[in-house]
Amino acid sequence: MTSWLRRQRALAEYTLAALARRRIKNTGLLLIYAVVIFVVASATLFATALRKEAEVVLAGAPELIVQNLVMGRHDMISGEVIAEIDGIRGVAGIKGRLWGYFYDRLNGANYTLMVPLDPDMAPPEGQAIIGESLPRVRELPWETAPLFLSRYPGDLVRFDIAERLSSESALVSTDLILLNEADFRAFFELPENVYTDIALSIRNPREIDTIVEKIGRLLPNARLVTRDEIARTYQKLFSWREGIMVLLAGASVLAFVIFASEKASGLSAEETREIGILKAIGWDTGDVIAMKLWEGGLISFSAFLLGTVLAYLHVFAFDAGLFASVLKGWSVIYPDFALTPGIDGLQLTALFFLTVLPYVAATIVPIWRAATADPDQVMR
Amino acid sequence: MISVQSVCKTYNEGRPSALTALDGIDLEIARNALTVFKGPSGSGKTTLLSIISCMARPTSGRVLIDGRMVSGLPERFLTLERRRTFGFVFQRFNLIRGLTVLENVLLPAAPLGGEPRADAKRALARLEMLGIAGKAGERVEFLSGGEAQRAAIARALINDPPVLIADEPTANLDTELAHRFLDIVAGLRAEGRTVIMTSHDPRIWAAEQVDRVVSMRDGRLEENAA
Amino acid sequence: MRRTSIVFGFLAAGTAMLALAALHARIAAAPERARMARSAALVRAVGLTDLALFTEARFTRNPALADLQTAFQDAPMSFEHFPSGTFAPRPAAGFGRGELRFGPEEVAR
């Protein structure tokens, strides 16, 4: 056993000495490799944490949303519908939701104005509860500084700040301006008894399908969105098919594979000669291959460790700062959120095999022929 | 010690480019002697050397080392036999560039899994004996021809093999270094080792340290004792 | 110092860092659960349906509710152009429903 370990260590020692000969080239290779793994690992960790957050937090969303469609577009829904739906058995609660968007001409941000479903949460008249980003993008100078919104030139509506929502819920609330119903209707000049859509709570989740069918018959023009569908939307967000980050990372992985296979498989005449020498002085095929395994293993494992540890720091200590500009797109508001740190063992293992194995294989396969060649060719 | 019995070696057998390098060689090599194969290039002396040292296999015939048949062994055992019995000094030394002298000398010890400090100590002692201990940390491409050869000899001896094989060892050396080489080899013989080498260098054939010169031509022996 | 000692040392340190990251994630789990529960309570009280991650356009602010099943967003020539739109999934059920919601006898009539 000790002799086996010593042999492995001696082979690793040789590999390192051989790698150290082209220190800059091999360090560069290691760094590029680590960057590729860093990008892929960051994207995976980030998307997983975000999906987890959506899963847990949006579990509080309404079980069913009823939208009115007019000419294929989402339109206001009449309050009279509420009484009709309320008669359906299994519906535990029903409320009209009032929400809309407001484009702030001052800074180009889009806010979401909303009346809380829970009447206890609604602010008093003339006041608003604002999300975490508003003080930032509106540069509200002090804690209770009022918010002025201008719907058209010459118009100015004042809201005093009842509360600022904590940034711990930024991911769902960053752009919110919560008003009471009277203020909301006045601000958007809405008639009485119309709603943006209708939120249902349902006592028994198994009855959702039946209720959806009944509402479908009652309101053939309506579009119904269940909480399951909401959840699915977010489970698929950033899944491998959709994410452009993964696409970009895929492209860089591909470029790296080409680079690595060129480097690893383009077995130079020099290397072939060295393998011949090693065989001639008493190494057997197994020794040569073990030595090359060490080379591939050491480089790819180092890159894997470097990439994943940095990715963890990037996503959870630095709030995925490098992705922020990609995710922000053209938005003015970007939530200042922190994700729940988590490492998915399965994902990490998958990443390990997807990154380490191909490189090791690319190092080993071309060596096979050289390693099995007759050693006496170095004498000729 | 080493017995070669009707050994033939044909390269590219069965093809138009087939080349018979050895054609029925019978030879006994004595233990603790310095044997030199001489002959013009293409006479088959290097091929014979690689067959004796288990680097290549004969097309037909048998090779026995201390009565053990080695010519039919599979590759793995052949490597083991080679490791245990032979140390090699090549014509162009075949040191691995970019590595230090000490790292090169330790190479044959790597697959054996010996205690690293003991290996290093042995290597340094051998370098000391050959007078190049001061160069142990130097990269091999900065060595002179004579130093490179002594590094190669130290490498050949690291696993303490009973037989030293040298292919044209003096081809790249001037007369003085060639004599120094013969002195080193004589010293090794005094340690009880067997030395087998090829040479077309008359300085070697005539040297007093040589026990036996085997002359070859066109893959056959033209035996005569020195 | 042998080269392998240095490199194995670095690898051990890297593995330890990874283990430390896993430990950190485990320690942070309980307070994070509490934080997410508070967020979920807010979602329930306000009646929210979406993450406020992409505020640049209607259909990216509320992807779960947006008119994704309609062919055009704002104009027939309005191709997808918001950067965050590229993260949005296609509707779970696909675009077509593949049925007319008529019984066979109704279709025959």
**Assembly ipTM:** 0.89
Nearest to C45 among A117, A232, A312 (CB): A117
Cross-chain residue pair B79–A379, CB shorter than 8 Å: no
Average pLDDT score, chain C: 78
Identify the helix (H) or strand (E) that includes residue A341.
Answer: none
Residue partners of B107: CB distance under 8 A and separation at least 6:
A14, A278, A281, A283, B96, B155, B158
B8: closest CA among B61, B63, B57? B61
- Here the tokens at position B169 are 């060892």
Which residue does chain C place closest to A132, by CA atoms? C52
Predicted TM-score of the model (pTM): 0.84
Are the beta carbons of B111 and A18 separated by less than 8 Å? no
Give the closest-approach CA distance of A78 to chain C in angstroms. 18
pLDDT along chain A (380 residues), means of 10: 89 92 88 88 87 91 91 87 89 93 90 94 94 90 87 91 92 93 95 93 90 90 88 73 58 71 66 86 89 91 95 92 80 87 88 83 76 67
What structural domains does chain B harbor? 33-52+84-221 (3.40.50.300)
Interatomic CA distance for residues A123 and A162, integer angstroms: 6
The token pair at A96 is 């009209």
Tokens of C5: 């000692």
- pLDDT < 50 stretches in chain B: 225-226
Question: Given this model, what pLDDT does residue A241 score?
Answer: 47
Whether residues B159 and A10 touch (CB distance < 8 A) is answered with no
Q: A287: burial class by Cβ within 10 Å (0-12, 13-18, 19+)?
A: buried
Neighboring chain C residues of A329 at a CB cutoff of 8 Å: 54, 56, 60, 82-84
Residue B139 is classified by DSSP as B
Q: Of all residues in chain B, what percent carry a pLDDT higher than 70? A: 98
Q: What is the edge-to-edge ordering of all strands in the sheet holding B163-167?
A: B86-89, B163-167, B194-198, B34-38, B212-217, B220-221
Residue-by-residue DSSP string for A129-171: EE-THHHHHTT--STT--EEE-SSTT--EEEEEEEE--GGGHH
pLDDT score recorded for residue A279 = 87
Token couple for B4: 């070669």
pLDDT digits (tens, 9 = 90+) for C62-101: 878 876 555 555 555 556 666 666 666 555 555 555 555 5
pLDDT tens across A5-40, in order?
Answer: 999 999 999 999 999 988 888 898 899 889 888 988
Give the per-residue pLDDT at A161. Answer: 93
Q: How far is CA A20 from the centre of its chain?
A: 38
Assess A309–C contact: CB distance below 8 Å, yes or no: yes
pLDDT tens track for A202-256: 988 889 999 999 998 998 888 899 998 888 888 877 665 445 556 666 776 777 7
- To the nearest whole angstrom, how far is the Cα of B208 from the nearest Cα of chain A? 27
Task: Find the distance separating the first CA and the last CA of chain A, reported in whole Å.
Answer: 37
- B218 is written with which tokens? 């066109």
CA distance B171 to B201: 7
Cα C18 to Cα B85: distance, rounded to the nearest angstrom:
48
Asked if residue B119 lies in contact with residue B193, where contact means CB atoms within 8 angstroms, the answer is: no
Distances (CA, A) of A149 to A75, A159, A166, A334: 24, 8, 22, 20
Residues on chain A bordering chain B, Cβ-to-Cβ distance under 8 angstroms: 2-7, 9-11, 13-14, 17-18, 21, 270, 274, 277-287, 372, 374-376, 378-380
Nearest to A67 among C45, C56, C65 (CB): C65
CA atoms within 13 A on the CB side of A285: 15
Do the Cβ atoms of A375 and B55 come within 8 Å? yes
Q: Torsions phi, psi of A288, nearest 5?
A: -65, -45
- Cβ <8 Å between A3 and B113: yes
Contact B110 A285 (CB under 8 A): no
Test A61 with C65 for CB contact under 8 angstroms. no
Chain A contact present for C47, CB below 8 A: yes
Instruction: Determine whether the interchain pair A280/B88 forms a contact, defined as Cβ–Cβ distance below 8 Å.
Output: yes
Is A114 in contact with C84 (Cβ distance < 8 A)?
no
Which residues 250-279 of A have a C-beta within 8 angstroms of C? none
Domain boundaries, chain C: 1-48, 49-92
Report which of A194, A224, A225 is spatially closest to residue A98, judged by C-alpha positions. Answer: A194
